[in-house]
Structure 1
Amino acid sequence: MQQYKYFAVLLICSFSLAGCGAYFNQPTSPQDARIAENTAQTMKLRELPEPANRIEVGVYNFKDQTGQYKNVENGSTFSTAVTQGATTILIKALEDSKWFTPIERENLANLLNERNIIRTTRDEYRNSNDTAPQRLRPLLFAGILLEGGVISYDSNILTGGVGARYFGVGGSSQYRQDRITVYLRAVSTSSGEVLKTVNASKTILSQGVDVGLFRYVNFQRLLEVETGFTKNEPSQMAVQEAIEKAVELLILEGIKDGLWATEEGPEKDKELIEAYKLEQELENSTELYERTYQDHDFRHSASAVMGISLIDGDYTTGVMDFMGGLGYKYRFTSQLSLGYDIQAFKLNSTTEHIKWWLSQNINVAYNILPHDKLSPFIYGGGGVITYIDDKETDLKPNDTFYKLQLGAGLEYMFTDRVSLVLQGDWNTTFTDRLDGFVGGRRNDFYYNLGVGINYHFGSNKTRIKHNPK
Structure 2
Amino acid sequence: MIAKTSLIKVLILISAVMMFNVVSAQNDSIQESTSWNKFIDFYDLRGTNTITTGVGTAVMNGDFQDPMFEIYFKGGYKRFITPHFGISISYHKFNLAYEDVFNFGYMSFDLNLEYLMLPHKRVSPFIFGGAGYNASNYFEETATKAQAGGGIECVIADGLAVSLFTDYNYVFDDTLDGLEAGDSDDTYFRIGFGVNFYFGGAKKKAKLMGGRTVINSNLIYPKKDRVTK
Q: CA deviation at 1:434?
A: 1.2
Please state whether the residue corresponding to 1:324 is helix, strand or coil: strand
Question: Which residue number corresponds to residue 109 of structure 2?
Answer: 360
Please state whether the residue corresponding to 1:365 is helix, strand or coil: strand
CA distance in 2, matches of 1:465, 1:434: 49
State yes or no: 1:295 paired with 2:45: no
CA distance in 2, matches of 1:293, 1:354: 46
State yes or no: 1:388 paired with 2:137: yes
State yes or no: 1:402 paired with 2:129: no
1:20-419 matches, within 5 Å, as 284-285=34-35, 295-297=41-43, 298-388=47-137, 397-419=139-161
Q: Which has the higher contact order (CA 8 A, sep 6+)?
A: 2
State yes or no: 1:460 paired with 2:209: no
User: In the alignment, is the contact (CA less than 8 A) between 1:293 and 1:372 conserved in 2?
Assistant: no
User: In the alignment, is the contact (CA less than 8 A) between 1:303 and 1:455 conserved in 2?
Assistant: yes
User: In the alignment, is the contact (CA less than 8 A) between 2:68 and 2:98 conserved in 1?
Assistant: yes
User: In the alignment, is the contact (CA less than 8 A) between 1:315 and 1:350 conserved in 2?
Assistant: no
CA distance in 1, matches of 2:120, 2:56: 27
CA distance in 2, matches of 1:332, 1:377: 15
Please state whether the residue corresponding to 1:296 is helix, strand or coil: helix
CA distance in 2, matches of 1:349, 1:343: 20
Number of residue pairs matched? 177
State yes or no: 1:423 paired with 2:165: yes
CA distance in 1, matches of 2:134, 2:204: 38
User: In the alignment, is the contact (CA less than 8 A) between 1:302 and 1:326 conserved in 2?
Assistant: yes
Question: Unpaired segments of 5 or more residues in structure 1?
Answer: 1-161, 163-174, 176-202, 204-281, 390-396
User: In the alignment, is the contact (CA less than 8 A) between 1:294 and 1:416 conserved in 2?
Assistant: no
Normalising to structure 2: TM-score of the pair?
Answer: 0.71
1:63-106 deviations in Å (ceiling 9; x for gaps)? xxxxxxxxxxxxxxxxxxxxxxxxxxxxxxxxxxxxxxxxxxxx
User: In the alignment, is the contact (CA less than 8 A) between 1:334 and 1:465 conserved in 2?
Assistant: no
Specify which structure has the higher proportion of strand.
2
Question: Which residue number corresponds to residue 149 of structure 1?
Answer: none
1:110-153 deviations in Å (ceiling 9; x for gaps)? xxxxxxxxxxxxxxxxxxxxxxxxxxxxxxxxxxxxxxxxxxxx
Question: Unpaired segments of 5 or more residues in structure 2?
Answer: 1-20, 210-229
Please identify runs of 4+ aligned residues in structure 1 that moved more than 4 A.
Answer: none
CA distance in 1, matches of 2:123, 2:59: 27
**Cα RMSD (Å) of the superposition?**
2.6
Q: CA deviation at 1:465?
A: 5.5
CA distance in 1, matches of 2:161, 2:204: 22
Q: 1:286 to 1:451 in 2, by over 3 A?
A: farther
Question: Which residue number corresponds to residue 77 of structure 1?
Answer: none
CA distance in 1, matches of 2:33, 2:115: 27
1:176-234 deviations in Å (ceiling 9; x for gaps)? xxxxxxxxxxxxxxxxxxxxxxxxxxx9xxxxxxxxxxxxxxxxxxxxxxxxxxxxxxx
Q: 1:455 to 1:341 in 2, by over 3 A?
A: same
Question: Which residue number corresponds to residue 440 of structure 1?
Answer: 182
Please state whether the residue corresponding to 1:356 is helix, strand or coil: strand
CA distance in 1, matches of 2:33, 2:79: 30
CA distance in 2, matches of 1:312, 1:465: 47
Please state whether the residue corresponding to 1:284 is helix, strand or coil: coil
User: In the alignment, is the contact (CA less than 8 A) between 1:286 and 1:293 conserved in 2?
Assistant: no
CA distance in 1, matches of 2:130, 2:110: 7
Q: CA deviation at 1:360?
A: 0.3
Q: CA deviation at 1:459?
A: 2.7
Please state whether the residue corresponding to 1:354 is helix, strand or coil: strand
Aligned partner letter, 1:408: G
CA distance in 2, matches of 1:302, 1:316: 37
CA distance in 2, matches of 1:313, 1:349: 9
Q: CA deviation at 1:285?
A: 4.4
Q: 1:384 to 1:441 in 2, by over 3 A?
A: same
CA distance in 2, matches of 1:293, 1:458: 14
CA distance in 2, matches of 1:301, 1:368: 17
Aligned partner letter, 2:49: H
Aligned partner letter, 2:41: D
Q: CA deviation at 1:294?
A: 7.2
Instruction: Indicate the percent of aligned positions where both proteins have the same amino acid.
Output: 27
